[in-house]
Structure 1
Amino acid sequence: MVEPSGTGRVEEVVMCRWLAYSGEPLRPAELILDTQHSLVAQSLNSPLGAETVNGDGFGFGWYPTDPSPDAVPGIFHSIEPAWHNENLRDLTNTITSPMFLAHVRAAAGPPIQQTNCHPFRHENWLFMHNGFLEGFHLMQRDLRYAVDPSLYPSIVGTTDSETLFYLALTFGLQDDPIAALGRALRFVEETGEKHGVSAPVQGTYAVADGKTLWAFRYSTSHHSRTLFHSAAIPELREMFPDVERLEVFGEHAKVVVSEPLNDTPGAFITVPESTVAVLDESGYHHEPFLADAEAVLTPA
């Protein structure tokens, strides 16, 4: 339990777990269910999480293998624990997807309901978040009023994460995801300062458009929750030529995770603090993210 500076109110800080995949079409069950420390396993026992159990619902979003130009990703949300849902097992074992996101939730105040489950979707964009906006109850009115009026009706849940997504859309997520999320987070920090909240932003964030995956690690205190991505498959095959499981994955397969899916040394690379990992068909690279005192831009 923590008490936000200057708020006079005690708030629970609870974390979630997530993963995102990009690469050749893959059965999502290979990562969500079948790895040593799969996302479903982490929902029951998360060694690196702030909460050991993440059983307050889950979400799964996926892009079709052969999308039409106007295709939107599929979404499946449930308030059941991930380990208890047979539909999740059926879906992830029967579909294939070149890009998918999955999230298990540990609720931190907002109620357990489907509209509060990640990932969130707008047109062809998906977003999910592991973390919190501290003092959100103080900032909520200001943050939501900053959302573009054309987007505001699309907010259907009560979480800080969904509000952050629509702020980022307001700031131009569809044109420049890195700059837009940066502006949204700086706006949250500026708003928090007005309300006496000293460190309002904590988290890791995933943004996807069906072609590119952006994974961010940032918090105001510069001490964010863990985030990793897999090493390149050709490198892993060279390091571990006898591991048959690697044959499941294509040459371009990449996964970003809250914590590693296995204990294999060198299989997962830490995403540094204040960094965005960009994963696309060419591979992956890191860029600094909010590493300086970038000015806040007011929404148009």
Structure 2
Amino acid sequence: MCRWAAYRGEPLYLEELVSSPAHSLIEQSHCATKAKTSTNADGFGLAWYGDHPEPGRFRDVLPAWSDCNLKSLSRHVRSPLFLAHVRAATHGATRRDNCHPFVKDSWSFMHNGQVEHFADLRRRIESMLDDEHFNARTGSTDSELLFLLALQFGLAERPLEAMGEAIGFVEHLSREVKGMAQIKFTVAFSNGKSLYAVRYASEGYAPTLFAAPMGRDGGYCLVSEPLDDNKDTWAEIPPGSAVIVGEDGLDVAAFTPFWDAAKVAAE
């Protein structure tokens, strides 16, 4: 399982999540405590928002703990909204275009989890994409394909509904092809204005998600696991939840994937 951290609020240096805390994201890359595997060494990535609509991005295939550029960049880049990720590969080789976050236009996306039986579903999921979104794909992961599918379904206009529809479609397809659906899905995504997150599993274990206030103006940090041992600071987001961090702070709502099977036939 991967580890990730995201923030929205007053501008902070990326190191406040990535390298400075006692259990920073870099620390989690080789010593995760709330994942099946403690090591997340198959690359890392950052996406941050500044003066332009599209995010800046830096990704590499080195383990996060061994890359001096990551520490230097995190110390000097300051942003009001950013995503950071360390990868433990499930689907897709260890290469730069398979590292999270994935970006298209103003949107960024990162994922912890997996689509079971992805190899058997991949071609039919790809067939749902129009040329624009199919051609935007550069890697081979289930994560990037889920992101592009949500964009196809209207992420820009209705973020959580489109994400629910994307997961609902993949669950529907998995039941049709394999007789079962098993998706583990804890994600963060953003358009540079609001920060969204979802924690969900088709059945059984849903990868963890925690939230904590950060900064002085209602900012929040969302993480796969807490950045320190202060248990009073971190609230666990329950499975089947969607989170929105915006100008008014943090809001949590129920998340239920859905899919209209007739839509497949119509398209």
Task: Report deviation, 1:253.
Answer: 2.1
**What is the match of residue 25 of structure 1?**
11
8 Å Cα contact 2:172/2:181 also seen in 1? no
**What is the match of residue 49 of structure 1?**
35
**What is the match of residue 275 of structure 1?**
241
Q: Within 1, Cα distance between the matches of 2:235 and 2:151?
A: 29
Does 2:225 match 1:298?
Answer: no
Give matches, 1:1-300, under 5 Å: 15-64=1-50, 67-68=51-52, 71-230=53-212, 232-233=213-214, 249-290=215-256, 295=260, 298=263
Aligned sequence identity (%):
38
Q: Within 2, Cα distance between the matches of 1:96 and 1:104?
A: 20
Number of corresponding residues: 265
Query: SS of the residue aligned with 1:276?
Result: strand
8 Å Cα contact 2:133/2:148 also seen in 1? yes
Q: Within 1, Cα distance between the matches of 2:261 and 2:247?
A: 32
Residue 263 of structure 1 aligns to which amino acid in structure 2? D
Task: Report deviation, 1:197.
Answer: 4.8
Task: Report deviation, 1:296.
Answer: 5.0
- Bigger proportion of residues as strand: 2
Task: With the length of structure 2 as denominator, give the TM-score of the two structures.
Answer: 0.95
Query: SS of the residue aligned with 2:168?
Result: helix
8 Å Cα contact 1:59/1:75 also seen in 2? yes
Task: Report deviation, 1:222.
Answer: 4.9
Task: Report deviation, 1:84.
Answer: 0.5
Query: SS of the residue aligned with 2:208?
Result: coil
Q: Within 2, Cα distance between the matches of 1:250 and 1:114?
A: 35
Q: Within 1, Cα distance between the matches of 2:196 and 2:16?
A: 21
Task: Report deviation, 1:148.
Answer: 2.0
**What is the match of residue 5 of structure 1?**
none
Task: Report deviation, 1:219.
Answer: 1.1
Structure 1 spans left out of the alignment, 5+ residues? 1-14, 234-248
Q: Within 1, Cα distance between the matches of 2:171 and 2:141?
A: 17
Residue 61 of structure 1 aligns to which amino acid in structure 2? A
8 Å Cα contact 2:91/2:142 also seen in 1? no
Q: Deviations over 1:226-276 (max 9, x none)?
A: 10110x35xxxxxxxxxxxxxxx3322210000011111210111111100
Residue 101 of structure 1 aligns to which amino acid in structure 2? L
After superposition, the Cα gap between the structure-2 partners of 1:198 and 1:35, relative to the gap in structure 1 and judged at 3 Å, is same
Q: Within 2, Cα distance between the matches of 1:250 and 1:98?
A: 12
Task: Report deviation, 1:109.
Answer: 3.8
Q: Deviations over 1:146-174 (max 9, x none)?
A: 01222110001000000000100010001
Task: With the length of structure 1 as denominator, give the TM-score of the two structures.
Answer: 0.85
8 Å Cα contact 1:177/1:207 also seen in 2? no
Q: Determine which structure has more spread, i.e. the larger CA radius of gyration.
A: 1
Query: SS of the residue aligned with 1:111?
Result: coil
Q: Deviations over 1:175-205 (max 9, x none)?
A: 0110000000000001101111523311201
Q: Deviations over 1:82-135 (max 9, x none)?
A: 000011111110110000000000111410000000000010000110000000
Q: Within 2, Cα distance between the matches of 1:210 and 1:91?
A: 19
Task: Report deviation, 1:295.
Answer: 3.9
Query: SS of the residue aligned with 1:264?
Result: coil
After superposition, the Cα gap between the structure-2 partners of 1:294 and 1:150, relative to the gap in structure 1 and judged at 3 Å, is closer
Q: Within 2, Cα distance between the matches of 1:277 and 1:56?
A: 27
Task: Report deviation, 1:45.
Answer: 0.4
Output the aligned Cα RMSD.
1.5
Q: Within 2, Cα distance between the matches of 1:289 and 1:47?
A: 26
Residue 120 of structure 2 aligns to which amino acid in structure 1? L
Q: Within 2, Cα distance between the matches of 1:138 and 1:253?
A: 41
Q: Within 1, Cα distance between the matches of 2:7 and 2:230?
A: 18
Residue 287 of structure 1 aligns to which amino acid in structure 2? A
